[in-house]
Amino acid sequence: MQKRPRTLFRNIDGIVLLDKPQGLSSNQALQRVRHLFRAEKAGHTGSLDPLATGMLPICLGEATKLAGEILDGDKVYRFRVRLGRRTSTGDVEGEVTETAPVPMLERTAVEVVLRGFIGEHMQVPPMYSAIKQAGQPLYKLARAGVTVERAPRRVRIERLEMLALEPEALELQVECGKGTYVRVLAEDIAAALGTVGHVELLRRQSVQPFPAERMVTIEALQAALEAGQPLPLISPSEAVGHLPMVTLAAAEARRLQQGQTVSAAAATRAASLASGGSASESEATVRVHGPQGQFLGLGRLLSDGRLAPKRLVAQPLSE
């Protein structure tokens, strides 16, 4: 039997904003993209359930070092809540565990309820999640029929809008901070309306700072690669383009790359750039560039005005 040729992976840096299809896990989607690009290193930022579709940023090469920064960004989801039935997973893939009548819903009253979710509040993570307890992911315990206590976590809802109202369903759009579970939000909204519910459809429309129109499907990636067209890769520097920028001279940049803090004079200039003209009073994250505009990664402005490395990418320097 003839052996299949071994895939030769390569160093390639950038971010793919994948429009994840329904039915694939985030890791399955990641592996497909990695093999399409033959990327040596790859990682995704912020898992999407197999049920969910939409933006899944996939970092390749040196861009994987920025995954944590992207993960911290706000997300926008569009979702549909089916009222009257609770499921074991909080979505349509679970078994119905509870039913309840759905009261007559009036748009103004529903909007008042939704406004009550704006801001910061505590949310109990679902059992069907990747959060670990005693080294075990909660979803593995849930599949074994085990339910454990979960500590509530603080989440932030920036915006929650009703797009459509039906007798037994709501279509909503939410902009939320890191760590928010839309399935739990849907259950909490249903409870506030006097019934139970679960997520019927879920789509992540954007991840800060990327707009929805930059998403690309697996099929479009495959077609571009086969046709030899330019790859739809976002540069690592663009992924953190919302952060203040600091440009260093070659000598300062080399010291930073060696893990050293930058001289007081250079750090004072950086602090001024990051704070709009005044020295920074607390640590702040900035994107650092070399003398010819090379993106070097992320730095930390310390409270004493010095600039320290935070997450650097491999980048040769030129004068």
Give residue 140's pLDDT: 75
If DSSP codes are grouped into helix, strand and coil, which group holds residue 13?
Answer: coil
CA–CA separation, 44 vs 163, rounded Å?
A: 29
Q: Are 284 and 240 in contact (CB under 8 A)?
A: no
CA–CA separation, 152 vs 158, rounded Å?
A: 19
- The predicted model gives 83-106 an average pLDDT of 94
Q: Count CB neighbours of 303 within 10 A.
A: 13
The predicted-structure confidence for 237-268, as pLDDT tens digits, reads as follows 888 888 888 888 888 888 998 988 986 565 55
Report the relative pairing of strands 197-207 and 53-60 from DSSP bridges.
Answer: parallel
CA–CA separation, 31 vs 79, rounded Å?
A: 26
Give residue 276's pLDDT: 54
Q: Which of 47-61, 122-136, 171-185 has the lowest mean pLDDT?
A: 122-136
DSSP element (H, E) containing 61: none
Give residue 278's pLDDT: 47
Q: Provide the mean pLDDT of the chain.
A: 86
Range ranked top by mean pLDDT from 3-7, 264-268, 308-312: 308-312
- The predicted model gives 176-184 an average pLDDT of 93
Give residue 118's pLDDT: 96
CA–CA separation, 136 vs 202, rounded Å?
A: 26
Give residue 279's pLDDT: 45
- The predicted model gives 52-69 an average pLDDT of 91
Per-residue pLDDT for 100 more than 90? Answer: yes
The predicted-structure confidence for 213-229, as pLDDT tens digits, reads as follows 999 999 999 998 888 88
DSSP element (H, E) containing 17: strand 14-20
Confidence of residue 318 (pLDDT cuts 50, 70, 90): low
Per-residue pLDDT for 296 more than 80? Answer: yes
Edge-to-edge strands, sheet with 307-312: 245-247, 284-289, 295-301, 307-312
Per-residue pLDDT for 271 more than 60? Answer: no
The residues annotated with a catalytic role in the active site are: 49
Give residue 138's pLDDT: 74
